[in-house]
Every structure is written in C-alpha cells, then in structure tokens.
C-alpha cells in the first residue's frame, strides 16, 4: 500500500488522517493437515496455542463459497476495538487476516491484546482452516511506522549509511521484533522501488534505498532475509515499481500511468524483485499504476499480463500476491469494491487488501468473490490454488516460544 505520512504533515484524505493520528506511537485441494497444529506468532502470548496438533484435516475444496472467498480477504476497521462483525467473520472461517493502522493502536500492549483476541476467534471450531491469521502493518522505517521502535532509519537513510548492508540487516530484524512484540506476523515492507528523481513520489518520504537498482536489490534482500529469519513475513512492494512516479502521481488518490519502456522496467525496476524472490520473500504487493509497456489497459494489480506473465512466469515468484488498497483512487474507473476484487482475482492476485477502515469493505470484497465462484466467473480451482498459497504462508508463521513471549529476535 502506498503510504506517506509524518507527524507534522497535514493529511490529504480522511483515510490518511486516520492513519496519521497515532503514527508517533505505534489447484488442487490442500488439506488443513498441512496447517494443523501451527502455533501463532503473535508476540507476548502467554496462553496455550489455540490450534492443537490434533486438529482434524479439512480439504480446502470442501470450504463453502463464502469461506473460500473470505480466506482471500484482509480486513480493516476503525478505532481500537475490533467490531463484532469482524469477529464473526473470523470465527466462521471467512477472513485471511487484518491490517492495522495508527488509529487502531494506542500502545504495543493494547495491540497485542487485540491480536490475541483475533487469533482466539480464528481458532473457533466453526473455522475449518487451522492456521494463524495474517496480522499485518506497514513498519517500513523512518516516518512510515505504525509502532514505536525499529526500524528507526528510513530506507533512504539506510542507503546513505556508512555500512548500508549492516543497517538493512538491523532494520529487518528490528522490524520483526517490533511487530512480534505487538502480536503481528506480516510486515508490508520493504519498499524496493528504485526512485528516479529527488523529491518524487517515493523519494519525498525516504521510501527508497537508492536511485540505482543494484543497491536497492541488495539492501531489500538483506531486509527480507533478516526480517523473515526472525519470524515475520515480508512483502516486497510495489511491483513492478513506482520509482518513476512524479511527486503527485499517488495511486491512493487518482489513476496513474507510468510510461516506462519494458526494457527499463525489467533492467531497473524489476531487478530488486529478482533479489527479493531469491531471498525467499513470502509476499509481493502489486502496484495500481498502469504500465503501458506491459499492459496499456489495466492497472498492474488487475492485469494477468503483469501478475501472471511478468511476476509469476518471468520472475518465477511462487509465493502470495497481495493487492494494494482496493479502495484506492487509482481504481475509480474499475467499478465497485466487489467488482475490483473480482478483477484482481481474475488477474491472479491471491489476497485482497481492504484498507478503508471498514469491515463492510472487506465483506463487499468477499461477497463479490463468492458470487463469482457461484456464477462461474471465477473457477473453484483457481480459488483453491490461491487459498492453498495463503494457507501455506499462514502455517509457516509459527515462531519460537521465546519470540512469542516478546523477546527480540536476531
């Protein structure tokens, strides 16, 4: 997700204002036996693991349409307390996870308590998927942080440090420790965009390591390896790259077209993704910009040419794909939230990120997918393949007991 806020910067949208408020603080069927017994990575847990090892196996092809759809949706909500509607969806097995913003956080301890409550709901007997929820935030570093604590340096500061690789390693491990102490297991970071001009969309907030692809690739991979080595999944973003976006080309607010030649995209912008994939990155977030050299008609996250041909086949990424925010202004021409979710799934996106601080948004996205399964717009096989990748990710986020009790990792 494209995020850019500081404590003193005036927010341009209500959503950005909500995010800023507390910034300074904080296809094949796959059986659930593959995920049975997975312990949550939520930090500061002192309760027994809610997914007992004896959990019965449940084939993903037996999930209802509503469950198969919901298992691809990341929800958000307003305020400090998860709404009952979200808890109900999680208990029914109709949610993959939750993203948290500044307005959801009063302290790391408060967020850890919320994480425990959500993971207990996920362990309901009514939920056939026996694996931890994906609980995520943007802890990039610098001004883009949801919680106090590392990484303190922005990516630009890391790139300019005396020993950038060492700082990138510290940032990755530090981000993992910060998030795990608050009960989270996914970081929507690092940004691996290669910025083109000083002060442009990505550079103005210090969200790029360098104007050169080689250091971005090296430092992004260091961040990924050290964060994931400490038990928190990483998401490289924003594929195939927003580094060419000018200062006002903000996909959160409006449609954006980046006229970059395919050869340049592949030589410059995609190089850090090759490195991140080689480092084992678990998720890739796809941009909402249009790249005419790859697909002149559709935003990248709605384009099979970008998601399936470029990212999956050309770069060989086999992990979980996640959209940028479905409510983004870049998609104003692409219909309702339900329709946008359908188009993203048709393009090959796995997770739908509903970041508008509304459980209703996630419900609309999930409802759109469920209808698409029923009417044949989406095949069950493609849905099962996507949920299998997501379930594999969730099952892997088990963490150590030391980390789950809040001790810094790495």
- Over the stretch 350-379, which tens digit does the pLDDT of each residue have? 999 999 999 999 999 999 999 999 999 999
Worst-scoring range by mean pLDDT, 251-255, 293-297, 375-379, 403-407? 403-407
Alpha helices, DSSP H, located in 92-183: 108-122, 155-159, 164-181
**Domain spans of the chain?**
23-404
Average pLDDT over residues 130-139: 95
Is 48 a residue whose pLDDT tops 90? Answer: no
Residue 316 burial (CB count, 10 A) = 10
Residue count of the chain, please give it: 410
Worst-scoring range by mean pLDDT, 31-40, 52-61, 270-279, 324-333? 31-40
Average pLDDT over residues 30-57: 33
For position 60, what pLDDT does the model report?
Answer: 82
Using 50, 70 and 90 to split pLDDT, how confident is the model at 1?
low
State how far the Cα of 390 lies from the Cα of 387, in Å rounded to an integer: 5
> Regarding beta strands 295-299 and 290-291, do their DSSP bridges make them parallel or antiparallel, or are they unpaired?
antiparallel
Q: Is 383:26 a contact under the CB 8 Å cutoff?
A: no
Q: What 3-state class would DSSP assign to 251?
A: coil
Distance, C-alpha 33 to centroid of its chain: 25
Worst-scoring range by mean pLDDT, 35-49, 95-109, 308-322? 35-49
State how far the Cα of 328 lies from the Cα of 13, in Å rounded to an integer: 11
For position 368, what pLDDT does the model report?
Answer: 98
Average pLDDT over residues 124-151: 93
For position 148, what pLDDT does the model report?
Answer: 87
Q: What is the mean pLDDT of the chain?
A: 86
Average pLDDT over residues 385-409: 67
Is 260 a residue whose pLDDT tops 70? Answer: yes
For position 118, what pLDDT does the model report?
Answer: 98
C-alpha closest to that of 280 among 307, 316, 304: 316
Q: What is the pLDDT of residues 164-206, one digit of tens each?
A: 999 999 999 999 999 999 999 999 999 999 999 999 999 999 9
Is 49 a residue whose pLDDT tops 70? Answer: no
State how far the Cα of 323 lies from the Cα of 55, in Å rounded to an integer: 31
Is 410 a residue whose pLDDT tops 90? Answer: no
Is 334 a residue whose pLDDT tops 60? Answer: yes
For position 354, what pLDDT does the model report?
Answer: 98
Please give the full DSSP string across 343-384, using - where no structure is assigned.
HHHHHT--EEE--SS-HHHHHHHHHHHHHHHHHTSS-HHHHH
State how far the Cα of 333 lies from the Cα of 346, in Å rounded to an integer: 17
Query: With the CA atoms of 385, 188, 74 and 256 taken in that order, what torsion angle do they form, in degrees rounded to the nearest 10?
Result: -90
For position 64, what pLDDT does the model report?
Answer: 96
Using 50, 70 and 90 to split pLDDT, how confident is the model at 61?
confident
Measured N-to-C along each axis, helices 359-375 and 84-91 cross at an angle, to the nearest 10 degrees, of 40
Using 50, 70 and 90 to split pLDDT, how confident is the model at 28?
very low
Check whether domain 23-404 has CATH 1.20.58.100, yes or no:
no
pTM of the model: 0.85
Query: Hunting for tokens 């997914």 — which residue is that?
Result: 51
Q: Is 341:326 a contact under the CB 8 Å cutoff?
A: yes
For position 13, what pLDDT does the model report?
Answer: 36
Worst-scoring range by mean pLDDT, 6-20, 241-255, 280-294, 306-320? 6-20
> ∠ CA 9-179-17 to the nearest 5 degrees?
25
State how far the Cα of 85 lies from the Cα of 83, in Å rounded to an integer: 5
Using 50, 70 and 90 to split pLDDT, how confident is the model at 161?
very high
Average pLDDT over residues 273-294: 98
Which helix (DSSP H) or strand (DSSP E) does residue 84 occupy? Answer: helix 84-91
Q: What is the pLDDT of residues 82-134, one digit of tens each?
A: 999 999 999 999 999 999 999 999 999 999 999 999 999 999 999 999 899 99
Measured CA distances, 69 to 80, 89, 234, 354, 378 (Å)? 26, 11, 23, 13, 10
Measured N-to-C along each axis, helices 213-229 and 164-181 cross at an angle, to the nearest 10 degrees, of 40
State how far the Cα of 168 lies from the Cα of 180, in Å rounded to an integer: 18
Percentage of residues in the chain with pLDDT exceeding 70? 82
For position 398, what pLDDT does the model report?
Answer: 64
State how far the Cα of 26 lies from the Cα of 111, in Å rounded to an integer: 9
State how far the Cα of 247 lies from the Cα of 249, in Å rounded to an integer: 6
State how far the Cα of 172 lies from the Cα of 156, in Å rounded to an integer: 14
For position 311, what pLDDT does the model report?
Answer: 98
């Amino acid at each position: 997700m494209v995020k850019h806020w500081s404590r003193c910067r005036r927010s341009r949208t209500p959503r950005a204002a909500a995010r800023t408020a507390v910034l300074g603080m904080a296809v094949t069927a796959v059986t659930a036996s593959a995920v049975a017994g997975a312990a949550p990575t939520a930090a500061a847990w002192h309760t027994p693991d809610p997914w007992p090892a004896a959990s019965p196996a449940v084939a993903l092809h037996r999930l209802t349409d509503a469950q198969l759809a919901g298992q691809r949706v990341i929800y958000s909500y307003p305020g400090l307390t998860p709404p009952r509607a979200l808890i109900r969806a999680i208990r029914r097995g109709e949610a993959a996870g939750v993203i948290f913003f500044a307005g959801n956080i009063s302290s790391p301890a408060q967020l850890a308590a919320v994480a425990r409550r959500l993971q207990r709901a996920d362990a309901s007997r009514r939920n056939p998927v026996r694996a931890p929820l994906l609980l995520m935030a943007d802890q990039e570093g610098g001004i883009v942080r949801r919680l106090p604590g590392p990484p303190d340096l922005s990516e630009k500061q890391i790139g300019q440090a005396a020993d950038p690789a060492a700082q990138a390693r510290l940032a990755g491990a530090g981000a993992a420790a910060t998030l795990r102490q608050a009960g989270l297991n996914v970081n929507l970071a690092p940004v691996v965009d290669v910025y083109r001009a000083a002060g442009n969309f990505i550079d103005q907030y210090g969200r790029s390591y360098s104007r050169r692809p080689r250091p971005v690739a090296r430092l992004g991979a260091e961040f990924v390896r050290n964060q994931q080595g400490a038990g928190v999944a990483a998401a490289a973003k924003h594929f195939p790259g927003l580094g060419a976006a000018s200062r006002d080309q903000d996909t959160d607010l409006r449609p954006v077209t980046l006229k970059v030649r395919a050869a340049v995209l592949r030589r410059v912008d995609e190089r850090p993704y090759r490195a991140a994939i080689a480092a084992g990155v678990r998720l890739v977030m796809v941009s909402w910009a249009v790249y005419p050299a790859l697909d002149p008609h559709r935003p990248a996250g709605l384009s099979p040419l970008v998601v399936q041909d470029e990212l999956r086949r050309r770069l060989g990424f086999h992990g979980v794909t996640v959209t940028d925010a479905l409510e983004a202004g870049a998609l104003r021409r692409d219909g309702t939230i339900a329709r946008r979710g359908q188009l993203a799934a048709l393009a090959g996106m796995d997770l739908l990120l509903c970041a508008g601080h509304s459980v209703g948004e996630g419900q609309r996205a999930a409802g759109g997918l469920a209808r698409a399964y029923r009417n044949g717009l989406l095949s069950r096989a493609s849905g099962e393949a996507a949920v299998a990748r997501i379930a594999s990710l969730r099952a892997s986020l088990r963490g150590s007991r030391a980390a789950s009790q809040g001790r810094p990792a790495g």
